[in-house]
Structure 1
Amino acid sequence: MQQHTEGHPPHPRRLVLATRNVYKITELRAILGESGLDVELVGADAYPEVPDVKETGVTFAENALLKAHALARATGHPAIADDSGLCVDVLGGAPGIFSARWSGGHGNDRANLDLLLAQLADVPDEHRGAHFECAAALALPDGTERVVSGRLTGTLRREPVGGGGFGYDPVLQPHGETRTCAELTPDEKNAISHRGKAFRAIAPIVRELLG
């Protein structure tokens, strides 16, 4: 049990986010702060000895849970992990979990975009529906787990537009918008994004499980 001197509050509970992406850490830290949660959020960089987890699941939720459980076991602290991607209606939900490596290599955004647009070249505008999906998982060292998801729906442009964001942001135009995700400001994107929705959904679960 954590000891603390009379009159001094205990240190906040540490929560580990399974990412080395500073942007994601900042985003979740802000969302938890808005929820009034007193937790110390750190990224995976705080534990450089812990190896990255292979994403062998067949759904976003499975991959998020794999990463969260591995980090919770390795660090002894509650852990959050997310997995996300683009799901295209006419492709039956693909690229899905293969979004980051759709063109073969991992993380080659331009090659992934070019291949996807080529595959959809003959698809008429009314059938170019797609959505970004994100699963966020919370795992405790004792094996307790929770998983939630968020979605951003829209249609796919025929050419990339905008210099912001990453991945498939330049081709997804959210419903109700005239701009692609890559043309939105970071604040505009966070307000509607699949990851923002998933992180906001997991905040009350963090409160419930960590107090």
Structure 2
Amino acid sequence: MATLLAISGNLVTISSRSFGVADKIKSGLGVAGPVIDNYANLLLNDPNLAFTYFPYSAVSPTYVAVLKNSRHADEARAFIHYLLSPKGQRILADANTGKYPVAPLSADNPRAAQQQRLMAQPPLNYRLILKRQQLVQRMFDTAISFRLAQLKDAWRALHSAETRLKRPLPEIRALLTSVPVDAASSEDETWLAQFDNKSFAEQKMMEWQIWFLNNQRLAIHKLEELK
């Protein structure tokens, strides 16, 4: 979240569609943006575009399953077995999907090294991800979506001050990148479950709005003292 807050001052827009980010970059409506790799990979035949993974990018699989009440369960299972077979994996590796197969790519494949790096990362905790979904969505909206204009002003002022003083201002950066939920709370499933209660969630969002506003005011005040 701190990284997203740090780059929020340079955001042109916020999109609810991941593939829309890559399309906007390609059309020249933005310079850079966080995007899922397979959306970016499909556009990399354009020499003006590039994609770079974060240092600890995690792997999130594309799911395939047989529906519980499927009327064609046998056919569905056969299709899944085919996808996971050597032939199916070769087709997925060569198809224009931008995705990585589950099976290791051959050493001479230009994407093999990146596949190995991704597969070496610790697996995601999907149970915790699902439990955190309400928290993450509401925190993102409160921290960034609903206050993007104010964030841009605050970060513009900070960047201007750091340029003028020729030194970083970590204390002020900390005010603009901190969030009102600690790590322990973000892993507490009992607390996270309360976000399914609309009243609880709305109360928390109101508290966060005040918290972010106070932090931003304090950051601006400290910047003004440096003039």
TM-score by length of 2: 0.27
| Higher Cα radius of gyration | 2
TM-score by length of 1: 0.29
